[in-house]
Amino acid sequence: MTIPKIKNLEFREVTEDILLVHQIKVPDQFSCCDGLLILPKEGRNSNTIVLDLNIEPKYSIEIYKKLGPISHYVCTHGHMDHMSHVYGWEALNASIHAPFSEAYYLTDLYNFYNGFGFSEMMDFHTIEKFAHINKYFSCKEVNTFEPADILKFENIEVETIPFKGHSKAHVGLYLPREKILHISCLGFDQSEPGADGFGPWYGFEECSIEQYLDDIDKAENIFLEKSKFLTSSHAYIVKNPDKTPFEYMRNKIKENQKLIGTAILNSKLSSNLEESVNLLLEQDLIFQKKKMKSFLKKIYTFWEYWIIKKHLQHTYKILEIEEEG
Ligand SMILES: [Zn+2]
């Protein structure tokens, strides 16, 4: 096949009729994510199917012009970088599918604000500003599925795999016939081999480091046992049996645990979890919040609050295990 050429988009061939697509320049940090295009293939799918490719509508229109109708779009979870531009695919008549309950974040920003607990620490206007810089617009109608459901579009199967450590509805996608595992936003974010990134993201109340470590094990097993290729939302294509993504993600969590562990040793922390989190939060361990102004500072403070809390909770769990053992 000839790979389409569109300015500001990068197309990488996973197989001869499945492409990983990346928007190069983006409006803001949480505005876009890479995803897959399943091109039409006789006896399989008559129209293009799009998996979690959140790019600006001007580019989805270009794809439409080059590749023709798009029948379905699958969103993997309700984070901003996975839902801001999905309305653009809907406008091209693709039916939109997203996991329950985060599917409702695509149809109403207020559900995103409430569902992720932003409402406990900031006003809605802060989130409206965040949505604005990422060019979010809501979808009209979204079909919901349950994480772990198998989606079938004509003769293509898309297995959805719960990876709940990242968000309660977050799913990876597995194409059994094509042997492609898309781990979505699990935390492998190396743009090229050896590059550095942020790693796994667990800056919400509903996240858990223990669940995250289980998810990484689960993804590793699916990849090594039955996949040829691994793709994700912010990284290059990995071929079996390369274990880099899993080692990278585990290592990132470990580094954060060490960073926060060292800060705990150096601080006079109280025995109260809440007070300890707030004391560590002032140290700008994860994000340089002191340099931030306006609404973004509130949002980054919220994320860092939960990242620190997750690590403190993880430490408590480890200590309990040791005491019992
Ligand atoms: Zn995410």
Q: Which residue in this structure is represented by tokens 């509130």?
A: 298
Backbone angles phi, psi at 177, to 5 degrees: -75, -35
Give pLDDT, residue 78.
98
Distance between Cα 234 and ligand 1 center (Å): 10
Separation of CA 160 and ligand 1 centre (Å): 15
pLDDT value at position 324? Answer: 41
In sequence order, which residues have a C-beta less than 8 Å from that of residue 114 and are 6 or more positions away? none
3-class DSSP assignment, residue 304: helix
Separation CA 247–CA 234 (nearest Å) = 16
Distance 58 CA to ligand 1 centre (A): 23
Q: Which of 261, 193, 257 is nearest to 230 (CA)?
A: 193
* Residue 166 CA, ligand 1 centroid: distance in Å: 7
Task: Give 266 Cα–ligand 1 centroid separation in angstroms.
Answer: 32
Number of C-beta neighbours around residue 319 at 10 A? 10
Location of structure tokens 């699990």 = 186
Q: Ligand 1 centre and the CA of 270: distance in Å?
A: 32
Q: What share of the chain is helix, strand, coil (3-state, %, to 5)?
A: 40, 20, 40
Report the length, in residues, of the chain: 325
Q: How far is the CA of 75 from the centre of ligand 1 (A)?
A: 11
Written as one letter, the residue type at 59 is Y
d(CA 222, CA 173): 11
* Cα 47 to averaged position of ligand 1 atoms, centre (Å): 27
CA angle, 301 as apex, 297 and 305 as ends, to 5°?
A: 175
Instruction: Give pLDDT, residue 273.
Output: 86
C-beta of residue 265 within 8 angstroms of C-beta of residue 316: no
pLDDT computed for residue 261 by the predictor:
87
Whole-model pTM: value is: 0.95
CA of 124 relative to ligand 1 center, distance in Å? 20
Ligand 1 mean position, distance from CA 158 (Å): 19
Question: How confident is the model at residue 321, as a pLDDT?
Answer: 47
172 vs 158: CA distance, rounded Å: 10
Q: What are phi and psi of 141, to 5 degrees?
A: -145, 130
pLDDT of residue 179: 98
Q: What is the CA(1)–ligand 1 centre distance, in A?
A: 32
Q: How confident is the prediction along the chain (325 residues), in pLDDT tens digits per residue? A: 778 999 999 999 999 999 999 999 999 989 999 999 999 999 999 999 999 999 999 999 999 999 999 999 999 999 999 999 999 999 999 999 999 999 999 999 999 999 999 999 999 999 999 999 999 999 999 999 999 999 999 999 999 999 999 999 999 999 999 999 999 999 999 999 999 999 999 999 999 999 999 999 999 999 999 999 999 999 999 999 999 999 999 999 999 999 998 988 888 777 788 888 999 999 999 999 998 978 999 999 999 999 999 999 888 887 764 534 3
Question: How many Cα atoms sit within 13 Å of 229 on the Cβ side?
Answer: 21
Compute, in angstroms, the gap from residue 248 CA to the centroid of ligand 1: 17
- Residue 261 burial by CB count (10 A; 0-12/13-18/19+): exposed, middle or buried? middle
